[in-house]
Amino acid sequence: MSKFLCLDMDAYFASVEIASNPKLKNKPVGIVGSVDRTVVTTASYEARRFGVKTGMPKFMAEKLCPQITFIVGNFKKYAYISEQIHTFLKTITYKTEMYSIDEAFMDISDINMSPRDLGYMIKSHIKNHFKITCTVGIGKSKLVAKMATEINKPDGLNIIEDENVYKFMDSFKLDDIWGIGKNLAKRLNGLGIFNTRDIRKLGKDFFINIFGKNGEKIYDMAFGIYKEGVKYEEEPVKSIGHSLTLPADTFDRKILNSYILQLSDMVSFRARKAKVAGKTINFHIKYSDLTKFSKMHTINYHTAATHQIYEIAKHISEEIDITKGVRHVGVSLNNLIYSCDTINDIFNKKWENIYSAIDNINQKYGNLTVTFANILNCQRLTSNTLHPWQKL
């Protein structure tokens, strides 16, 4: 019988920082993206007791918890530790999926060890080597294992036996179930469905008639069934993107263009490094009032060149009303092709030589040693969107 294990790191970013600085132990800590303005990326459990939540504006977190210590996140450090944990898990079984920077799934059906002993072994290794804790959930599907990590946190180990799955799933509100969420839960509530027990009563055909092919998945979830297995073969990255929140809302198109250039260059650098090119450029912003604008533009050739990505993103940006104020900017390259043998596939000879020289210098002396002059207009010269499972 199949068994799945889900590992969920406890308040991961905050836990790593507390492990790095023991003086922070048992104190409320919040991780933010920058010193001047941002939202809380994650918070320690001590901070959460005051109501501090992920995504909360920094000023609100300070109001709820005046004694909170804010730390600017070191995402390279978090990614590195995440990779080390993933490498360890793969020594147990190759059927391991790094679902996110702080979560992983394992198919443990073939492991000759009791699930409980395996869970404790994993928890012990992570605690001994990284001084942080995780919660482990084990069940008959990825769904049940994932939901098992939502209880008894932090530092929990929860095994849901098959005969207890229905009762376990019924204990959650629909909007708390992985794969349902608030919008679908609201729609289900409108149909008089408030928990998985209600779903089981109505039958599969009812859901297929209303939700189409997704209806069967919804019905199966009420039984703890989740047909998707562990994705242990790495899938190709579908896009390369970077985004950042500006130090202050800008009403100046020149400043906005400098940030667009910086983001385009960061996207281009990762694409060139991985020998990847794309045909579609996506540009998105968030205004001062938190409303959003996003638009894609597809060209008739593949590129990974900073100047080409920038020109298209800048062209899209000219459609926006700069007088509303821009708070957040993002650029991504999509519709990718892989295994470009040389940059001759992407650039003409002049640009091939320029980018080759830039890459050689920056790889030797560090990022931004050589860059486009307009990027120096940016007050913020970093972005934190690279994920450890995107090997670019």
Query: What residues act catalytically?
Result: 103
Count the neighbouring beta carbons within 10 Å of the beta carbon of residue 256.
19
Q: Which of 118, 153, 156 is nearest to 5 (CA)?
A: 118
DSSP 236: P
> Are the C-beta atoms of 140 and 147 separated by less than 8 Å?
no
Q: What angle do CA 253, 310, 383 make, to 5 degrees?
A: 85
One DSSP character per residue, 63-91 reads HH-TTPEEEE--HHHHHHHHHHHHHHHHH
One DSSP character per residue, 153-190 reads -SS-EEE--GGGHHHHHHTS-GGGSTTTHHHHHHHHHH
> Are the C-beta atoms of 225 and 314 separated by less than 8 Å?
no
What is the C-alpha to C-alpha distance for residues 362 and 218, in angstroms, rounded to an integer? 50
Using CA atoms, how far residue 154 sits from 11, 28, 148, 351, in Å, is: 8, 15, 12, 52
Place of tokens 């000219």: 318
Count the neighbouring beta carbons within 10 Å of the beta carbon of residue 362.
15
* Residue 254: half-sphere exposure toward Cβ, Cα within 13 Å: 4
